[in-house]
Amino acid sequence: MTMTQQLMLPGQAAAPDGPNDLTGMFLIHHAFRRDLRAFAAAVANTPAHETNTWRALDERWKLFGTFLHHHHTIEDASIWPVLLDRVDAAGRATLEAMEAEHGEIDPLLEACGAGFAKLAAGPDEDVRRSLEIRVVAAAERLSRHLAHEETEALVLVQQHLTTAEWEVVEKKSAKGEYTFRESMTAVPWVMHELPADAQKRLLTLAGPVLAVLWRLTRGGFLRREKTAFPYA
């Protein structure tokens, strides 16, 4: 079995060896961790009366939620079910835990979304304080889930999915069901605050089209980030 050199990014819990290149998975996980740190800092430090900033944060939270929902949908529909028929009892327990954890995370994210929406509609310090607690809780829960996935579930991917099967998953994930704006935001969203060596790896794997999209979209993305996260 040919081993692929796996990507290891800041905050990542593990990079299981195997034939499948898990770069895309690790890039997405990096972006989720980065976003949650930024949201936690923003909610803690953005004054409740800064309604325009909260409107930008509300829109940015929706974008984060779109990417996370798509990521979990691909896992639940296209990865875990295939593996369930191939793993032993311990592997099945891990995969069932993956789906259960998705179910635990979703209500936390929905509660956060409701808080952002309320603050986008008008100042409310009580809502801001409540949202601060909820975002921290969501970040902690999602962080534990990502680490569990990296240390256990992705080991099963390497052991039981062929490279051809993994390529199908990657194509489904890249295609997505995004609006035009979401599609154009995905590239700078993934690249944002990514270490230089990881940026180079992604550009090499994805080819010149991605490099062009990044040049076209990163300026607008960074301007929106500054609008949403001035207090982070």
- Is 11 part of any domain? no
- Is 3 part of any domain? no
Range in 25-39, 73-87, 128-142 the model is least confident about: 73-87
Number of domains in the chain: 1
In the chain, the largest separation of any two C-alpha atoms, in whole Å, equals 58
CATH number of the domain within which 206 lies: 1.20.120
- Is 210 part of any domain? yes
Terminal CA-CA length for the chain: 45
> How high is the pLDDT of residue 1?
59
Q: Per-residue pLDDT for 125 more than 80?
A: yes
pLDDT tens by residue, 144-157: 999 999 999 999 99
Going by pLDDT thresholds of 50, 70 and 90, the confidence category of residue 207 is confident
* Domain interval for residue 224: 23-228
Cβ atoms of 202 and 191 within 8 Å: the answer is yes
- Is 125 part of any domain? yes
- Is 158 part of any domain? yes
pLDDT tens by residue, 137-195: 999 999 999 999 999 999 999 999 999 999 998 887 776 667 888 888 999 999 999 99
Average pLDDT over residues 217-222: 96
> How high is the pLDDT of residue 180?
81
> How high is the pLDDT of residue 178?
77
Q: Per-residue pLDDT for 68 more than 90?
A: yes
pLDDT tens by residue, 23-41: 999 999 999 999 999 999 9
Amino acid at 152: E
Q: Who's near 68: CB < 8 A, 6+ residues apart?
A: 32, 109, 142
- Is 18 part of any domain? no
Percent of the chain with pLDDT over 90: 88
Cβ atoms of 4 and 25 within 8 Å: the answer is no
Q: Per-residue pLDDT for 4 more than 90?
A: no
- Is 187 part of any domain? yes
> How high is the pLDDT of residue 176?
67
> How high is the pLDDT of residue 179?
80
- Is 78 part of any domain? yes
Q: Per-residue pLDDT for 121 more than 80?
A: yes
